[in-house]
Structure 1
Amino acid sequence: MNLLKDILYKVSLNKVVGNTAVAVRDLTFDSRKVGLDDVFIAIRGTQSDGHEYIKMAVDKGAIAIVCEEMPANFVNGITYVQVTDSQQALAMMAANYFGNPSEKLKLVGVTGTNGKTTITSLLYNLFTEAGYECGLLSTVKILVGKKTYKATHTTPDSLTINKYLQKMVEAGVEFCFMEVSSHGIHQKRTEGLQFKGGIFTNLSHDHLDYHKDFKEYRDVKKVFFDQLPKQAFALVNADDKNGSVMLQNTKAKKYTYALKRYADYKAQMLENQFSGLLLKINNNELWTKLIGSFNAYNMLAIYATAELLGLEQMETLQLLSTLQSVDGRFQYTVSESNITAIVDYAHTPDALKNVLETINAIRTGNEELITVVGCGGDRDTTKRPKMGKIAASLSTKIIITSDNPRTEDPEAIIEQIEAGVPAEHFKKMLSITDREQAIKTACQMAAQNDIILIAGKGHETYQEIQGKRTDFDDFKIVNQLLTALKK
């Protein structure tokens, strides 16, 4: 049993009413999950305010309440702790409650708009192949050694992060690779964690439904680097102008990687084709099965991180050459009639542009490039016309369809994407609301040697419409359709 006073170590306290030497069973910020002798942390969320559920938590057996605003009435025997920031307090308390597991392994965080899942997943694979016990906290899944758990958020809440880090410590994990989202940083979910290193990939248009503007989005990412300790490393993409911003106030050791300018870790793309990339990294040639310039950056970041974590250079290069792409990230299949179908998670303007430019750099120009694209509902609306413009400008045909409409009208989302399509590209555009029908139409339109890109959902195996999730896997569906057509 943990004592409340120990769990509150390093938490900035404004006022305490009651005894902090009480034994605590568990921590929760969800009033529905409160049990006997639990601590309830009242969080002000986007949907509801935990302060409204303090009485419910007490009625359900909470022994202590942590809040920003004290209730009007106190209940005897209950300890009340007032803090300035409940989210920050939750992060520190979660780390203390689980025994500060991040200090007992080497935790590396990856942040940026694109590339987080690929870099964390492939670092996990590379270090596992090198013989280390590893952990992964990603959008796609959570891994403790070889054991898989389902992921619900890119960066989980503080309790979930520390719970899994503790499992990793118990399992003998030495390295953990973690995606760090702007939401996670803004909501203080990563505070109280001891990072061995931080990686910045790039910054482009995303999450402006949550952050009020691009500057806030960038500055939130910067906070992660500001908080790195001096014994950690900060590795940033020098080809992105925001890379230098991330390093401005960090105490960590600073390193850069780049394809276009001078950097500590430099790479050149020598060949780029559907079978893979030939790279020259710090004067060593490397053939990798991954494709495109965005993956050249990813591979370079992985190479640099492996070296910074102590792996030997030649072993790293050998292991890099064996890595396979992550599910839903430029995942492709070729039909009997030589139609190439590519499924990619590209759901931001920059990611879509990267994927389409990669395909166009490889294709001879005689093939059609048919792009199936949509945008998620209840998310940043300003990127929708930009996605339409990019898809139309860089494809020979586009089919605009549904992604995960969530609670929005899918046809209204499609209209917003269509609004960005320049008039000269109208003739190459189709709109089909039903995503499966859109993919089927693309397959029917494709002839021998043509290329189909299905963008936006990548690894997801569901589609969310009006709060209901149904099974939907782009890669599985396009494989079935191409097999059935057999042109």
Structure 2
Amino acid sequence: MAQLKDILYKVTINAVTGSTSIDVNNIDFDSRNIKDNDVFVAIKGTTVDGHDFVEVAIKNGAKAVVCETLPLELADGITYIEVESTSKALAFMAANFYGNPSENLKLIGVTGTNGKTTVTTLLYDLFKKAGFKVGLLSTVRVMVDNKEYKATHTTPDSLTINKYLKLMNDEGVEFCFMEVSSHGIHQNRTFGLQFEGGVFTNLSHDHLDYHSSFAEYRDVKKSFFDHLPKQAFALVNIDDKNGLVMLQNTQAKTYTYALKTYADYKAQVLENEFSGLLLKLNDNELWSKLIGSFNAYNITAIYGVADLLGLEKVEILRLISELESVSGRFQYVISEGRITAIVDYAHTPDALKNVLETINSIRTKNEELITVVGCGGNRDKTKRPTMGQIASALSTKVIFTSDNPRNEVPETIIEAIEKGVEPQNFKKIISITDRKQAIKTACQMANSKDIILIAGKGHETYQEIKGERFDFDDYKLVTEFLKQMEK
């Protein structure tokens, strides 16, 4: 229980009807969850407007309502708080309600199109190995030191974030590594959090179903750095032309990392094999079990963050050499018949290009590279032809298939992907709508030493079709099919 006036601290209020000197039990933005003496915050979402459910919330027991527009009729005995932005208000209220937990640990936010999950997860693993109590808020999972919770969003809502951060406080967690998505920034889910540092990985074509343009997508990412405090650090990849854009208005202490240009943290790939990477990192040689130049960037970012957080440089290098790959990120299995199958989350043109170029830089070219790929339904449609163009240009054979079709017709999505295929690559492609059958066919097509890439879903253990989620695990399926073939 808390006093309403206390949890409204820092909220920009336009008008108040009723008293704020009242005790409230909880805060929620879903009217269905409201109980007696709760505060209902009416959020304008992309599909639903919480203002339409104020009456329902009051019937369910709400004692106070936070809104951007007051209802035409005000109910007796209810406190109404009119604010500029209910999403920002919710962020401050959530932080206040849970005792501003982000201030009691070192919170690092990682943003960018690709690499967020890998960087945050590997930082969690590294700091755990270093003996610290650590938290993780990622697409794949939420960790409160050793306890795991299921992740629902890349960046959860501000109430959920603060709830987990409070649990971390209770467990004595010192560091928390958090994925910060463009949706999360735009919807103010990270507003009001105290960040110790921010990391920018890269920016490429994604989420243009949500953002009106690439410039808006970039500027939303940039706003995360704009709000970092003076005492925080901002670490950006300056091989990406948007890296320096992120730093234009930040008050934070600025640092850079790169493979191709001079930077505070500079890496050079000396060897790149399926067994791992040999890197030169700020004049030190380092062997890593991770694979590919995109992971060289991730390792360099991890090294930079660990250094800026005060770990000993030699210790950081030792710990990085022990890190294993993240689930669904260049996760591979080699069958008894010497067929290599790689499962990767690559669901953007840039990520797919990176993975395929990495495989091509390692393979001898005497073997086939068979790619299985699709695109998600009800998401950015403009990237589909580009995905088709990249997959067909950089593979020897391609199977276009379903990803998570959601509410779209899978064949329509596949047709859009096929439009990007250049004439000289037509003979490489086949289309199989059923993803399971597509993976099985790839395994049947492969011979010894061939490489299969299954892209797009990575760590996901489901397939979303017409509002339902069905069990589906790319890594599990390809492993089973390869074993069946060897019987």
Asked whether the two chains share a fold, i.e. TM above 0.5, the reply is yes
Cα distance in 2, alignment partners of residues 281 and 427 from structure 1: 42
Match of 1:128 in 2: 128
Match of 1:79 in 2: 79
Cα distance in 1, alignment partners of residues 154 and 83 from structure 2: 27
Query: What do the CA deviations read for 1:138-191 (whole angstroms, capped 9, x no partner)?
Result: 000000011000000000000000000000000000000000000000000000
Q: CA deviation at 1:74?
A: 1.3
Match of 1:105 in 2: 105
Q: CA deviation at 1:52?
A: 0.7
Q: CA deviation at 1:226?
A: 0.2
Match of 1:19 in 2: 19
Query: What do the CA deviations read for 1:93-139 (whole angstroms, capped 9, x no partner)?
Result: 00000000000000000000000000000000000000000000000
Match of 2:372 in 1: 372
How many residue pairs match? The answer is: 487
Structure 2: which amino acid aligns with 1:157? Answer: D
Structure 1: which amino acid aligns with 2:43? Answer: I
Structure 1: which amino acid aligns with 2:453? Answer: L
Match of 1:292 in 2: 292
Match of 1:225 in 2: 225
Cα distance in 2, alignment partners of residues 456 and 75 from structure 1: 50
Cα distance in 2, alignment partners of residues 346 and 236 from structure 1: 21
TM-score, normalising length: structure 1 = 1.00
Q: CA deviation at 1:72?
A: 1.1
Cα distance in 1, alignment partners of residues 75 and 457 from structure 2: 49
Q: CA deviation at 1:237?
A: 0.1
Match of 2:173 in 1: 173
Query: What do the CA deviations read for 1:200-257 (whole angstroms, capped 9, x no partner)?
Result: 0000000000000000000000000000000000000010000000000000000000
Match of 1:326 in 2: 326
Structure 1: which amino acid aligns with 2:52? Answer: E
Query: What do the CA deviations read for 1:315-371 (whole angstroms, capped 9, x no partner)?
Result: 000000000000000000000110000000000000000000000000001000000
Q: CA RMSD in A?
A: 0.5
Match of 1:259 in 2: 259
Q: CA deviation at 1:464?
A: 0.6
Cα distance in 1, alignment partners of residues 402 and 11 from structure 2: 45
Cα distance in 2, alignment partners of residues 289 and 376 from structure 1: 30
Match of 1:157 in 2: 157
Q: Write the mapping of 1:57-456 to structure 2, written as runs, cut at 5 A.
A: 57-456=57-456
Cα distance in 2, alignment partners of residues 24 and 100 from structure 1: 17
Cα distance in 2, alignment partners of residues 211 and 56 from structure 1: 31
Cα distance in 2, alignment partners of residues 299 and 279 from structure 1: 9
Which 5+ residue runs of structure 1 have no aligned equivalent? none
Match of 1:462 in 2: 462
Structure 1: which amino acid aligns with 2:378? Answer: D
Structure 2: which amino acid aligns with 1:112? Answer: G
Determine helix, strand or coil for the equivalent of 2:306. helix
Determine helix, strand or coil for the equivalent of 1:341. strand
Q: CA deviation at 1:462?
A: 0.4
Structure 1: which amino acid aligns with 2:74? Answer: F
Q: CA deviation at 1:59?
A: 1.1
Q: CA deviation at 1:423?
A: 1.0
Structure 2: which amino acid aligns with 1:485? Answer: M
Cα distance in 1, alignment partners of residues 427 and 229 from structure 2: 55
Structure 1: which amino acid aligns with 2:235? Answer: L
Determine helix, strand or coil for the equivalent of 1:269. strand
Would you identify which runs of 4 or more consecutive aligned residues in structure 1 move more than 4 Å?
none
Cα distance in 2, alignment partners of residues 337 and 33 from structure 1: 54
Structure 2: which amino acid aligns with 1:163? Answer: K
Structure 2: which amino acid aligns with 1:38? Answer: D
Structure 1: which amino acid aligns with 2:306? Answer: A
Which 5+ residue runs of structure 2 have no aligned equivalent? none
Determine helix, strand or coil for the equivalent of 2:267. strand
Cα distance in 1, alignment partners of residues 29 and 133 from structure 2: 31
Determine helix, strand or coil for the equivalent of 1:203. coil
Q: CA deviation at 1:77?
A: 1.3
Q: CA deviation at 1:75?
A: 1.5
Cα distance in 2, alignment partners of residues 238 and 467 from structure 1: 40
Cα distance in 2, alignment partners of residues 301 and 357 from structure 1: 21
Do structure 1's residue 29 and structure 2's residue 12 form an aligned pair? no
Determine helix, strand or coil for the equivalent of 1:167. helix
Cα distance in 2, alignment partners of residues 161 and 378 from structure 1: 26
Structure 2: which amino acid aligns with 1:125? Answer: D
Structure 2: which amino acid aligns with 1:140? Answer: V
Q: CA deviation at 1:382?
A: 0.3
Cα distance in 2, alignment partners of residues 479 and 59 from structure 1: 53
